[in-house]
A and B are shown apart, each in its own frame.
Chain A
Amino acid sequence: MKRLLIAVLTAFISCAAVAAGRVELGLRDTRFIYATWNINHHFNIGLEHSVYSEKFKLQHIRIAAAYHTSIKDLSIECKPYFGTVYNGDYYDLGAQITAGYRIAGRLTLEATVNPHYDSGYEYKTCWRAGATCRIWRELSAVAQYSTIPEYRQSEKRVRVGLRFDTERLWIMPLLSISVASGQSKSPRVAVSMGWRI
């Protein structure tokens, strides 16, 4: 029943959005797939689903709505979200408020504040700060410091990598390394991408 519900919702959003030519399909941090639908220039809604190597009942699903606006070189986005796993073990909700500022056309500074509640880990204010520097045509270098959970747990991580941008496709492979003392230093490859249909 739950799978049917998700399938119907996904199909509905996908069909409606594709018909309107305002959908983006993609991947976040290697382990989440998503679809967003731009309702108009300022609003979009999205559905994200984990692809963990876990049983289906432990997969995570998240819905989000976002408001986006720009004032000259400053862009602002507010994205509230709600997510849960299928067996109801836990849920999370919060909002990501992001501000980006473009400097001299090449360099963009970006900061995100993320008040985040997880029913298991409880409340935490997470954040991310970073910069993107265009180095050659569609190619940019990306560097970030983040405490926003890549999966479920908030961790202090440095993420560095590249971003390729074309008209309809963007790909951002990042190397994510924990900088917290006492934690595993195992680097992760966090690949994100989006395809605007």
Chain B
Amino acid sequence: MKKLFILLTMMAAILGSCGGDSDLNKVYSFVGDSLIARWDLSYFFPACLTRNDGVSGSGVQYLESLGGKYAGGRVVVLSGTNDLGLVPSGDEQAYAERFVEAVANLGAGRVIVISIPPRSKNWCHNELDDNTRIRIMNASIAKECGTRPGFTYVDVFDLLLRDGYLNGEYTHDGLHMSEQGYEIITKKIKDIL
């Protein structure tokens, strides 16, 4: 019994000394709409400290309501698809400025902004194709992120696209991600983390 105790203590000491530096040992708060809320972060990021602050149906107003909440922290933002119907055609640049300002006001020192994913055909019901508008909004958001220190923009739009619409393999209902869809996004985020 004494030998067993000594063996376990030695193993614990050896394993505990396997030190290293990594940003992964910080909390990453995932903020946004249902695409965040439905993201099984414990499963997809098993080695990370994560926190899910996604709220289904939310948009830029929700981001604005969280001003200062993540001061000095790290956030991953995925939002915007619920705002699509509220933004008049031609106002995409103004929306992008408001969106990125709201994200900046979260106060985080490190910010990862994920592009708005495309929609499947059954979710595109505006006169101007919704995916074309999402592409325009994403380009404006990417441009605004480029002017902010500490911001990283992650483009997943084209990765999720097939024949101009959200790839059916990556979604259950044409808007929300399936496990395969989340795997695509997770891989991009892990490359950055």
Hey, which bits of chain A sit against chain B, CB under 8 A? 2, 5, 9, 31, 39, 43, 45, 50, 52, 54, 57-58, 60-61, 63, 65, 82-91, 119-121, 149-153, 155, 182-186, 188
Contacts and interface: CB of A to CB of B under 8 A. Distances in A.
Q: Which of A57, A82, A86, A186 has most B Cβ within 10 Å?
A: A186
Given A39-B4, A150-B42, A151-B42, A63 B15 contact: yes
Give chain B's interface residue range (CB within 8 Å of chain A): 20 to 34
Which 6 pairs across A and B sit closest by C-beta, in order of nearness?
A: A87-B20, A88-B19, A151-B46, A58-B47, A89-B25, A184-B40
Nearest to A47: B11
A43 B18 CA distance: 28
B41 A184 contact: yes
Given A5-B14, A63-B8, A184-B39, A50 B46 contact: yes
A120 B40 contact: no
Interface in B24-68: 24-25, 27, 37-43, 46-50, 52, 54-55
Nearest to B22: A89
A182 B52 contact: yes
B11 A9 contact: yes
A88 B38 contact: no
B25 A90 contact: yes
Nearest to A39: B4
B90 interface: no
A120 B25 contact: yes
Contacts of A120: 25, 27, 49
Contact of B52 (A85, A91, A151, A184): A184
A84 B24 contact: no
A88 B18 contact: yes
Given A2-B18, A87-B20, A185-B38, A65 B4 contact: yes
A152 B46 contact: yes
B16 interface: yes
Contacts of A9: 11
Contacts of B173: none
Given A63-B11, A63-B15, A87-B22, A43 B4 contact: yes
Contacts of A63: 8, 11-12, 15
Nearest to B14: A5
Given A54-B46, A54-B47, A60-B46, 20 more contacts: A50-B46, A58-B47, A60-B47, A65-B8, A82-B11, A82-B16, A83-B15, A84-B18, A90-B49, A120-B25, A151-B42, A151-B46, A152-B46, A152-B48, A155-B42, A182-B37, A184-B38, A184-B40, A184-B52, A186-B179
A186 B37 CA distance: 10
B149 to A, nearest CB: 26
Interface centre among B11, B39, B46, B49 (most CB of A within 10 A): B46
Contacts of B46: 31, 50, 52, 54, 60, 151-152
Contacts of A50: 46
A183 B41 CA distance: 9
A52 B186 CA distance: 13
A34 to B, nearest CB: 15
B4 A183 contact: no
A39 B42 CA distance: 34
A2 B190 CA distance: 23
Contacts of A119: 25
Contacts of B179: 186
8 contacts: A63-B11, A82-B11, A82-B15, A84-B18, A121-B49, A153-B50, A182-B37, A188-B43
